[in-house]
Amino acid sequence: MAKIHIKSEKLTPFGGLFSIMEQFDSTLSSVIDSTLGLRCGSFGYQYSEIIRSLMSIYFCGGSCTPGCHYSFDEPLSLHPTLRTCSSDTILRAIKELTQENISYTSDMGKTYDFNTADTLNTLLLKAGSIN
């Protein structure tokens, strides 16, 4: 015979996502915010919250940032502590993290643009060294 559990809290189709996001908060949030710096002092979203919101869009089956957030807003708001930001905030934060391209002109006269993205590369190295 199957066991039946009666739940009093609201159910969400993305319930498994909450445990992933809590793990993200306990391991990566401090690394992200210490590497990228605090985005704001008293209100608004930190970079760790923005990256978590972006991840939740893709983990919930979304394929793009603009417009997708609204279909996930209600289920994700059921978690008592997770804050999710709008797609506009995500896109603004991505733009804030961009760096200018470095141009190189070869002896043949061809110009090549590349971007070292030093801050994001540092974040990648620090995140990779977490046990």
> What is the reported pLDDT for 82?
80
> If phi over 0 gives left and psi between -120 and 50 gives alpha, with beta otherwise, what is residue 103?
beta
Query: Is the per-residue pLDDT at 70 higher than 70?
Result: no
What pLDDT does 43 receive?
A: 82
Q: Has residue 126 got a pLDDT over 80?
A: yes
Q: What is the pLDDT of residues 6-50, one digit of tens each?
A: 766 666 666 678 888 888 999 999 999 999 998 887 788 999 999
* pTM for the model: 0.77
Side-chain-side CA neighbours of 123 within 13 Å: the count stands at 19
Q: Taking the CB of residue 80, how many other CB atoms lie within 10 A of it?
A: 6
Which DSSP letter does residue 28 get?
A: T
Better-scored residue on pLDDT, 7 or 111: 111
- Show me where the domains of the chain are located: 15-128
Q: Are 99 and 118 in contact (CB under 8 A)?
A: yes
Instruction: Give pLDDT tens digits for 87-108.
Output: 889 999 999 999 999 999 999 9
Tell me the backbone φ, ψ of residue 113, rounded to 5 degrees: -105, 135
Asked whether 33 and 47 are in contact (CB, 8 A), the reply is yes
